[in-house]
Amino acid sequence: MKLPPLTIGPFTAPIPLIQGGMSIRVSTSALAVPVAECGGIGTIGGSSIPTEDLKADIRKAKSLTKGIIAVNIMYAMKNFYNLVMASIEAGVDMIITGAGFSRDIYKIGRETNTPIVSIVSSPAFAKLAEKMGAAAIIVEAKEAGGHLGTDVALRDLFPSIREVVRKVPLIAAGGITNGYEMAELMDKYGADGVQIATRFVLTKECSVSDAFKQTYLNAKKEDVVLIHSPVGMPGRAIRTPFAEKLLRGDDLKAKECQFKCLKKCDHYYCISDRLIKAHDGDIENGLVFTGENVYKMKEILTVREVFDMFVSQAESVYKEPVIS
C-alpha cells in the first residue's frame, strides 16, 4: 500500500521521510537538496558553522529545489538564536531543534510563520513541546547517532510518547536501516513518518571525506561506542584511536577554546575540532559520530537509490495503521 504523505505546518512531503540534520557540515545542501527532490525533507545541519555560511547554504538549497528544506540547530549552541534567526532570514522552510529544550523558539516560530519541529526523548518533553506549539515532534531513541537524550530503545520509547502526542505529527528516529522498519514504525507503532541519518552518510552526495565513509563501511557492531561529550550528553561514535582515548579517560584538556560554540562546555576536549577532523578525513584524531546500526550498512548508494529502496520495501508491506 502507498505510504501517506507527511504534512508539517503548510508543508507536505510526498514521502514521509526526514533526513536527519548532521552538524559540522555532514549534512549540507549537497545532501538536503537531493533528499528534498526525492520527496522527503532535506535537513541542513546548522550547528557549529559560521552564520553567513549557513545562510548561504540555505539560500543555495532553496534555489536548487522546490522541495522542503529544514535546518537542524542544537539548543546547546551559544549562538542558537542567531542561527535560528539567520536561517529564517535565509528562507528555510522549517526549524528542527534538539540537544536541549527552548521555550522561546515557539514564539519565534509563530511570529515568523516558521514551523518548529522538536526532537525529544521523553513523554514529558513531548507533551511540553506539543503544548508550546511544536508543528511536529521527532522521537529520538538510543539507537540514534550524535548526542543522545535517552538510553531507551525506539520500540520501547515510541509508544509512551505516541500515547501523549495526539495533535501533531509524530516521527520516529534512531536505528532505522530499511523500508520494512519504516513501514513497521508507521503501521504498527503509529508513527507519521521517520527520520533517518546514518544511512544518508553512506550516499554519494554526502560531503564528508571518503575516509569518513570508509570508517562507516568498516565498522563492526562492537566498534560502535558511547563516548563522553563536552555538551553534557553522551555521544555515539565509532571506535577510532581518539574515541579509545576518551574511553580510557586520557587527559585531553583542550588548551584553548577556539570555537566558543557551546552554552556549557566542560572543556574535556574540543568537540567541534574533533568532529571537523573526522569530517575532513583525519580519522586517527577525529570523532566519527554514527547511529547504532551503521554496521548493517555495507554500500554507498545515491540518495535516489536510498529513497527507491526505502519506498519499495515499505510499500510492499505497509498497511493501514492499527493505531489511529
Residues forming contacts to ligand FMN in the complex (CB under 6 A) are: 20-23, 26, 45, 47, 72, 74, 98-99, 119, 140, 143-146, 173-176, 195-198, 289-291, 293
Of 96 and 165, nearer to ligand FMN (C-beta) is 96
Contact of 23 with 271, CB cutoff 8 Å: no
Cα dihedral 219, 223, 225, 228 sign:
negative
CB of 2 to ligand FMN, least distance (A): 23
Pairing outcome for strands 234-238 and 193-196: unpaired
CB of 251 to ligand FMN, least distance (A): 26
Q: Under the phi-then-psi rule, with left for phi > 0, alpha for psi from -120 to 50, and beta for the rest, what region is 260?
A: left
- Tell me how far apart the alpha carbons of residues 61 and 43 are, in angstroms, rounded to a whole number: 10
State the CB neighbour count (10 A cutoff) for residue 260: 9
CB of 201 to ligand FMN, least distance (A): 6
Of 168 and 194, nearer to ligand FMN (C-beta) is 194
CB of 68 to ligand FMN, least distance (A): 16
Of 305 and 319, nearer to ligand FMN (C-beta) is 305
C-alpha to C-alpha distances, 294 to 16, 133, 242, nearest whole angstrom? 22, 34, 19
CB of 324 to ligand FMN, least distance (A): 26
- Tell me how far apart the alpha carbons of residues 94 and 41 are, in angstroms, rounded to a whole number: 10
Of 45 and 115, nearer to ligand FMN (C-beta) is 45
How many Cα atoms within 13 Å fall on the side-chain side of residue 33? 15
Pairing outcome for strands 146-147 and 234-238: antiparallel
Contact of 28 with 45, CB cutoff 8 Å: yes
CB of 272 to ligand FMN, least distance (A): 11
